[in-house]
Structure 1
Amino acid sequence: MCDEGISDNFLLNIFVRDKFSKMLQELEHYSENEQKEKIEEMNGLVEEMDEEMLDSVVTEELFDNMHKMIKEEKFSMENLVFLLKCIGCCNSMNGRGFLVFERSALNKWMIEMIIDENEKNTEEKNEKLLVDLCECYLVLLYDLPSEFYSIFFPCLLNVASNKDEDKKTQKEVEMALFALCCIGTFSVVPEELYLNKIKEIIEYHQEHRNLTRFAYQSALLFLKDRLNMEEDQWTVIAKEEHFVREVAREMSELMENVDWKKKEEKKTGTKMKDFTIVKRWCSELINFFLCSKVYNEEFVGLIACMTRLCRAAKENYEEITIFCCNDLVNMMRNRPILAIVHDMMEGGAFEFFLEEINRPMLDENSLRLCLMFFIEISSRMKEKEDDEKEEAKRKRLKRHFFERMEEEGFEDAVLSFYKRLDYINRVIMVTYP
C-alpha cells in the first residue's frame, strides 16, 4: 500500500533511477570489456523505459557523474559513447533533448573536446572520436548552436556519404543521418553546408537501395526539416526527390511487415523496428502538410497508404491512427481544392471517415478527427474558382461528394454532420485551430 499522494509509478521511477545510478558507479570496478557487457545491460534497461521513467533516470547528476568518471579515467571513451548514444537515441525518437544535459559539466567538456579534436591537423585528428562526440551531442541535446554548423555538418555528412553496403558501414551511416535529424526543425542552416551532399545520398539510394530503411527515412526527414521555410525549397523534395512517392512506398512496404493485430509490447527485433519507422513517419509529416503548399499526382498514393494504415492501426494503435488522421486533415489545407478533394475520395480517406463517424461507439478523439475532416472538406468546396470552367468542375465535385454519401447509405451521417457543425466550431475548433 502506497502512502497517500505517492503513486506506484513514482516509486518505480525512484527504484529504477537508483538502480541505474548504482550500476554506473559500479562500472569503475570492471575492466573495459566487462564495462561494455554491463553497459549493454544498462542500455537494455533504457530501451524499455517510457518518457517519464527516462526523465527520472537521466538527471544532471547522472551526466556529472559520467563526466567525473571519464576525467578520472574510470570509464573508457568508447564505453561512454556506447552508453550516451543509447540514452540519446531513445529520447530523440520522441523529438526532444535533455535540458539537464545542457546544464551539465559533461556538455561543456564534450564541446571542448569536439573543438579541440576538430582543430588538430589531419595526422593527429581522431576522425572516429570526432564523429562519435558529434553524434552524442546531437542526440542528447536535440539542437545545435549555429557556431558549430561548420564542424558538425561536414563531419557527419562525410560519414553518411559512405556507399559501402557492409553492415558496419550501414550502421555508421544510419547513426550519422539520425544525429543530423536531431538538429532543430526551424534552425536555418546555409544550404552550401548540406544540400548537395544530402541530395546525392538520397538520389544514390533511390537508384541502388544501399541504405537501411531507418537511414533513408532520416535522410528524407533531414532534408524536409532543412527546407521548410520557402515554397520553392519544398519543391526540391516534392519534385526532384519525389518525397511523397517515396514516403508512400516506404510506408506501404513497412506496413506489410507489421502484424497490426498484436500489441506493440509483443513485437520484437525487426518487426519492432519496422513499427517504429512507420510511427516516426506518421508523427514527422505534420509540418510538411501544414507549412507547404506543394501538390502533385503522387499525393493520391500517400492518401491511400495512410487510409490503409488508419484501418490497420485503429484497433491496437490509437496513437498512430490519430497521427494519420491529423495528417490527412492537414493535407486538405493550402492545396488545390479540385485535386485534393478528388484524391481524398479516390484514396479512400472519404469512406474511412464516413465509416468512423457511423460507428455506434465513437470516442471523443475519433469524433473530433471525423468532424475536422468533414468541416475542412466542406469549407474547401465552398471556395469559388475564378475560372468559369474550374468553377463548373467545383460544383460537379461538390454534388458528387454528397451523392457518394447518399449512395453508400450514409444519409444519417449527412444529417449528423450538419447538426454537429455548430458544436465543433464552438468547442473543439477553439482547442484545435
Structure 2
Amino acid sequence: MSECIDDECLSIIQGISRTGKFAKLFTELENCDEDMQKQKIIKMNGLIEDMNKDECKSIFEIFSFNKLDEMIDKKKISVKNIILLLKHAGYFKVVTCVSSFCFNNSSLPRRFEKMIVEELKKEEKNENFLIELCECYLLHKERYIPSKLISNCLPFFFEVSLSKEKDEETQKKVEMALLALSCIKAQNRIEKTMYLEEIKEIIKYHQEHHNLTHLAYQSAWRFLIFRLRNGENLEEVIMNELHFVRESARELEDLTACVDWKKSKEEMKILKEVQIIRNWTDEMIDPLEHYELRKDDVARMILSLVKLCIASRDNEQGMTGDCLYILKGFAENATVSVDVFLKEGVFELILMEILESTLDDEITFYSLQICFLMFEMLNEETDNDAEEAKRKAAKMELFENLEEEGYEDAIVSFHGILVFLQEDYDDDLSLNISDYFVNV
C-alpha cells in the first residue's frame, strides 16, 4: 500500500527534482554545440518558471558563474546563449526577491562590464545587444554598480521604456528594461537630470493610457523610491505630482482582485501577482508613515490594505502581518485621523483578527497596537463642539459593537502574553489591559 504524501512533502520532492534537473542540464552545456545548448537552456528556463523562492535561491547557489566565464574564454558557449540563460534566470531572481552574491563574487561581472564598455565605444552600436548585456548584469548584480556604467546605459533603457506600444512583445521588452532599472538600488547615486523627466513621463503616460504591466509599473516606481531613499529631495514629485499613495492603493486593489486566494500555499509561492503584492507591502508602502498625506489618498490606501488583509488571511499570514504593520504606521501618523480608520473598516478587521482563536504572535501584536492607538485617538478631546460630539458618538457606537461581539473577554485572554509579545517584538505595547477597552 502506498503511503499518503501531503502537499508540503510533495512540493519538497518536486522542488528537489526541479533543482536537480537544472543542475544536470547545466553540467551538460559544456559538451554541446550551440543549437543543443540553446535547447537545454530553454528547458532550464522552463524549470525556473515553476520554482518558488527557496528553489530559485538554491539554483543560484548551484549556479557556477565562474564556470560560465571559463566557457566563454574557451569558446564553449556563445554570448547569445549566456544572455538567453542569465536574462531569464535574473528575471525570476528579482521577481521572487532572491538575494544572492554568487554573481558579485565571481569573475563574470567583470566580463560583462568589459563587454558593455566595448559595445559603448563602437560608432555603430548594437543597441539591442547592449541592452541585453546590461539587463543580465543589473538583474544579477547586488548593491554597488559602477556609476559610469549607469550613466552610459540609462539613455538606452529609457528609450526602450518610453515605448508607447501596447503589443505583447513591446510590453515584455519594457517590463524587462524597467525591472533591470529597478535593480539600481539606493547605494547607487544618480543625478536627477539623468532620470527624473524620463521616469516621470513613463509613470504619467501609464496613468493615462495603462500601457504597462503591473510588474513594469511597480518597477518604475521602485526605481524612483530608491532615489528618494538615497537622499534625493523627491517628496513633492512622488507624493503630489505623481500621486504615489493613490496609485499604489489602486495597484494593490487591482492585484488583490486578480489573485485566486483559494489556491494552496505552495501554488501561491510561484504566483507572480502575489510576488508583486509582496514587493508593494514589503518595501514600497512602508515609507509613507513618514510623510504628510492627503486624507482622500490615505483613506483609499487604508481600504486597499483592509481588503488585502481579508483576502490573504487564510493562506498568506505573512502578507496579513505586513498589512497590519503598515496600518500601525498610519495609526502612528499624526496626520491620519481616527474617523478614517473607523470609516474604512480597520476596526472590523482588527476585531476579526482578535476574535480569531488561531492568531499568530505577529498578527496579535500589531492588532493590539492598532487597537491601543485608535483608542488613544478616540480619547483625545477637542475644543470644537461639533468634532467633540462626533468623537463621543463614535466612542459610544464602538463601545456597543465591541460589547456585543465579546471583545473585552477576548482581550482579557491576552493578558498573560502581553509581556512576552512586547519583549519578543522589542516595541512599545501597553501592559495595562484596560488601555484596550473603550470607556464611555
TM-score > 0.5 by shorter chain: yes
The alignment's TM-score, normalised by the length of structure 1, stands at 0.84
- CA contact 1:174–1:214 (8 Å) conserved in 2: yes
Whole-Å separation in 2 of the counterparts to 1:12 and 1:169: 34
> In structure 2, how many angstroms separate the alpha carbons of the residues matched to 1:330 and 1:421?
24
Indicate the SS of the match to 2:332.
coil
2: distance between equivalents of 1:362 and 1:201? 42
**Alignment-derived partner of residue 435 in structure 2:** none
Q: Determine whether 1:360 maps to 2:362.
A: no
Q: CA deviation at 1:39?
A: 1.1
1:25-424 to 2 correspondences below 5 Å:
25-59=27-61, 62-121=64-123, 123=124, 125-143=125-143, 144-185=145-186, 187-228=188-229, 233-266=234-267, 272-338=271-337, 341-379=338-376, 388-389=383-384, 399-410=392-403, 412-414=406-408, 417=411, 424=418
Distance 1:419 1:88, change over 3 A: same
Task: Flag the 1:15–1:308 CA change in 2: closer, same or farther, 3 A.
Answer: closer
- Could you tell me how far apart the structure 2 residues matched to 1:419 and 1:382 are? 24
Tell me: CA distance 1:186–1:104, structure 2 relative to 1, closer, same or farther (3 Å). Answer: closer
Q: Report the Cα distance in structure 1 between the residues aligned to 2:35 and 2:211, rounded to whole angstroms.
A: 32
Once residues 87 and 373 of structure 1 are traced to their aligned partners in structure 2, the CA distance between those partners, rounded to angstroms, is 41
Tell me the alpha carbon deviations over residues 116-172 of structure 1, each in whole angstroms, 9 at most, x when there is no partner.
Answer: 222322x1x221122112111111123324343312322322211122222221111
- Paired letter, 2:170: T
Match of 1:3 in 2: none
Asked whether the 8 Å contact 2:53–2:98 carries over to 1, the reply is no
Aligned to 1:428: 422
Question: Is this contact kept in 1: 2:101–2:142, CA < 8 A?
Answer: no
Cα pair 2:171 2:213 within 8 Å, conserved: yes
Q: Report if aligned partners of 1:248, 1:305 keep a CA contact under 8 Å in 2.
A: yes
Q: By how many angstroms is 1:105 displaced?
A: 0.9
Q: Residue 329 of structure 1: CA displacement?
A: 1.4
Query: How many residue pairs were aligned?
Result: 417
Measured after TM superposition, the shift of residue 195 of structure 1 is 0.7
Query: C-alpha displacement at 1:333, in angstroms?
Result: 2.9
State the secondary structure of the residue aligned to 2:87: helix
Note if contact 2:299-2:344 (Cα within 8 Å) is conserved in structure 1: yes
Structure showing greater relative contact order (alpha-carbon pairs closer than 8 Å, 6 or more residues apart)? 2
Query: Match of 2:5?
Result: none
Distance 1:130 1:374, change over 3 A: same
How large is the RMSD of aligned CA atoms in angstroms? 3.3
Aligned-partner SS, 1:45? helix
Unaligned runs of 5+ residues in structure 1 are 1-6
> Per the alignment, in what secondary structure is the counterpart of residue 203 of structure 1?
helix
Q: Answer whether contact 2:246 2:301 (CA < 8 A) is retained.
A: yes
Deviation at residue 431 of structure 1 after TM alignment: 2.2
CA drift of 1:95 comes to: 3.7
Q: Is 1:254–1:274's contact at 8 Å kept on the other side of the alignment?
A: yes
Amino acid at match of 1:324: C
Contact 2:354–2:410, Cα closer than 8 Å, also in 1: no
Contact residue 231 and residue 292 of structure 1 kept, 8 A? no
Query: Do the aligned partners of residues 334 and 266 (structure 1) sit closer, same or farther apart at CA in structure 2, a change above 3 Å counting?
Result: closer
Structure 2 match to 1:4 = none
Q: Could you tell me the percent identity over the aligned residues?
A: 33
Return the alpha-carbon distance in structure 1 between the equivalents of residues 403 and 257 of structure 2.
Answer: 31
Q: CA deviation at 1:319?
A: 2.2
Deviations 1:177-222 (A, max 9, x none): 1111112245432211111000001111111222122211211222
Deviation of 1:251 (Å): 2.2
Displacement, 1:423? Answer: 5.6
Give 1:396 shift.
5.2
Q: Distance in 2 between matches of 1:147 and 1:380?
A: 51
Partner Cα distance (1:117, 1:79) in 2: 18
In structure 2, C-alpha distance between the alignment counterparts of 1:157 and 1:95, rounded to whole Å? 23
Residues 97 and 139 of structure 1 are in contact (CA less than 8 Å); yes or no, is this contact kept in structure 2?
no
d(CA) in 1 for partners of 2:147 and 2:24? 37
Amino acid at match of 1:221: R
Moved more, 345-354 or 246-255: 246-255
CA deviations over 1:255-274 (Å, ceiling 9, x no partner):
222221222544799xx333
CA displacement at 1:422 relative to structure 2? 9.4
**What CA deviation, in whole Å up to 9, does each residue of 1:386-421 have, x standing for no partner?**
xx54xx677556545532332213474357658858
1:321-369 Cα distance to aligned partner (Å, 9 max, x none):
122222211222334143xx22111111121001211223323232112
Q: Contact 1:97/1:141 (CA < 8 Å) preserved in 2? A: no
User: Does the 8 Å contact 1:224/1:234 carry over to 2?
Assistant: no
Q: Which amino acid aligns with 1:63?
A: F
| Distance in 1 of aligned mates of 2:387 and 2:188 | 39
The answer to which of 63-72 and 192-201 deviates more is 63-72
How far, CA to CA, are the matches of 1:55 and 1:206 in structure 2?
34
Structure-2 separation of matches of 1:427 and 1:66: 49
Contact preservation (8 Å) 1:356, 1:366: yes
Q: How far, CA to CA, are the matches of 1:365 and 1:201 in structure 2?
A: 38
- 1:258-292 CA-to-partner distances (Å, cap 9, x unmatched) read 221222544799xx333333333222334322443
Greater Cα offset, 169-178 or 368-377: 368-377
